[in-house]
Structure 1
Amino acid sequence: MVETLKLLQFGDSVFPVGAFSFSNGLEAAVEHGVVHDRDTLRDFVRTITRLAATADGVALLAGHRAVAAGDLDRIRRADEAVHLRKVNEEMRAMSVRMGQKLAEASARIVGESLLKERIGGAADGVPVTYPVALGVLFAELGIGEQDAFAAHQYGAASMVLGAALRLIRVDHLDAQSILFAVNAHVADDYRDVRGADLDDMQGFAPHLDILAGAHQHAHVRMFMN
């Protein structure tokens, strides 16, 4: 029961890591007409969660598994893998800022940990990233990797849907219906990536990268990405 409460606390979409500042690419997708109603929003959210599984999700599992071995270098390599695969500047900024905030919050709330040690080692030029920090934190809190992966996927979807309520004409029940449908894929996504290693990480989505590049130079923006 205690582990479940810890999962709910640190996996909560309102946990103060700055997720509300990001749309995970949705703002640009709306501006360019890629997303304009409930159906296109559902397809977009599913694309985001699939990419979250095959890229960041693999790194999250690597970070989680590194805790059992006390392998700080493997955690650093997972962070590096995430950072190098963020092609556009805004997605890199999102991953690093949220990762740093989570690590700092963990240090204050939880105390001494491998994640706190990793913050101190980030001066080597490899920043702490959100998915790896989440995996490490949950492992240290005694939360299993499947639940950690599920929380990460839930967060990716809820970030987009929270932004959607401010960007297009959908209501809260539309958003919850989409979240319910997308969540049904989490177990399949986990099975697809649980045997992957860092070299297998993939996030091929050129359309999203183009939208992110356009968003970076937009004159008016509600979100940071």
Structure 2
Amino acid sequence: MGQDTSPLGTATAGMVRLGRLLQFSDSTLPVGAFAFSNGLESAIQTGVVADADSLADYVDLVVRQAARMDGIAFLHAYRAARRDDYEAVVQADRELWCRRVGEEQQLMLSRMGRKLAELALKIDAFPQLDRWLGDIRSGATPGCFPIGQALAFAHMGAEETEAFVAHQYGVAAMILSAAVRLMRIDHLATQRILFATQSRVEADYLEICAAGLDEMAVFAPVFDVLVAHHSKTHLRLFMN
């Protein structure tokens, strides 16, 4: 049968895709995000984050940083997956891994990436994720989480902009989920911050969508210091 071009068919064409994209970008997806705070724990311990306003500034910093580092690798992997260029996927994976500062940051990327691949393959057939997971297990590729997201979203037919939004949303949601457990802030305040953070996603995408892998770079010395601080902290709730 041909494609349904009726008004109803046009209106419902992306419903399944959207539903699955929402599932895979949900903050409760069991890929281990609950174990990581993306530096927030040290930010609170050192006084960098102390209230809702400073938390909002911190989330904005990390989301902006994620776009210019993880987001570039994510888009390259997504595009490579769409054209079935697996070698380019692995290249993006390795390039991102090499640019991540700190053992804990690398641990976050690799642990969540592997968990995402394992989860997806329990749900459905994801051929590229299956191959990627095999390479992770053999040590042929590091298995960074944004690359796993790119493979999953490409397989599900997500549009590039949809996929990028889902990636950026996940970064913010991870930090805000940790914030509720680490500081005196309620869910209403964190949801206000999350809502406001989404306003920057279009500008971030337009800034990096044409960037090459060699342009992945961020300058956030405070964040780097917080990451280093956390690795030496004796009392901590999160793995980074």
- Cα 1:219/1:144, change in 2 over 3 Å: same
Letter in 2 for 1:210: V
- SS of 1:82's equivalent in the other structure is helix
Aligned counterpart, 1:149:
164
Select the residue among 123, 126, 133 that pairs with 2:148: 133
Aligned counterpart, 1:223:
238
- 1:111-160 Cα offsets, whole Å, 9 max, x none, are 24111111112324421110011011100110111111101111100111
- 2:126/2:152 contact within 8 Å kept: no
Aligned counterpart, 1:171:
186
Matched, 1:111 2:143: no
Letter in 1 for 2:26: D
Select the residue among 67, 81, 91 that pairs with 2:95: 81
- 2:113/2:144 contact within 8 Å kept: yes
Q: Distance in 2 between matches of 1:197 and 1:110?
A: 32
Aligned counterpart, 2:52:
38
Select the residue among 86, 98, 112 that pairs with 1:72: 86
- SS of 1:170's equivalent in the other structure is coil
Is there any run of 5+ residues in structure 2 with no aligned partner, and where?
1-14
Instruction: Report deviation, 1:45.
Output: 0.2
Select the residue among 67, 72, 77 that pairs with 1:53: 67
Alignment of 1:158-197 (within 5 A): 158-197=173-212
- 1:106/1:116 contact within 8 Å kept: no
- 1:103/1:133 contact within 8 Å kept: yes
Q: Distance in 2 between matches of 1:124 and 1:198?
A: 21
- 1:50-72 Cα offsets, whole Å, 9 max, x none, are 01101001111111101122111
Instruction: Report deviation, 1:200.
Output: 1.0
Select the residue among 130, 134, 140 that pairs with 1:120: 134
Q: Distance in 1 between matches of 2:132 and 2:187?
A: 38
Structure 1 length-normalised TM: 0.97
Identity %: 45
Find the structure with the greater CA-based Rg. 2
Q: Distance in 1 between matches of 2:155 and 2:126?
A: 10
- SS of 2:94's equivalent in the other structure is helix
Q: Distance in 1 between matches of 2:122 and 2:235?
A: 35
Structure 2 length-normalised TM: 0.91
The alignment yields a C-alpha RMSD, in angstroms, of 1.0
- 1:68-107 Cα offsets, whole Å, 9 max, x none, are 2211110101110111011111111001000000011112
- 1:85/1:203 contact within 8 Å kept: no
Matched, 1:27 2:45: no
Q: Distance in 1 between matches of 2:214 and 2:172?
A: 25
Letter in 1 for 2:110: V
Is there any run of 5+ residues in structure 1 with no aligned partner, and where?
none
Q: Distance in 2 between matches of 1:12 and 1:108?
A: 17
- SS of 1:212's equivalent in the other structure is helix
Instruction: Report deviation, 1:220.
Output: 0.7
Matched, 1:11 2:25: yes
Letter in 2 for 1:91: Q
Aligned length: 225
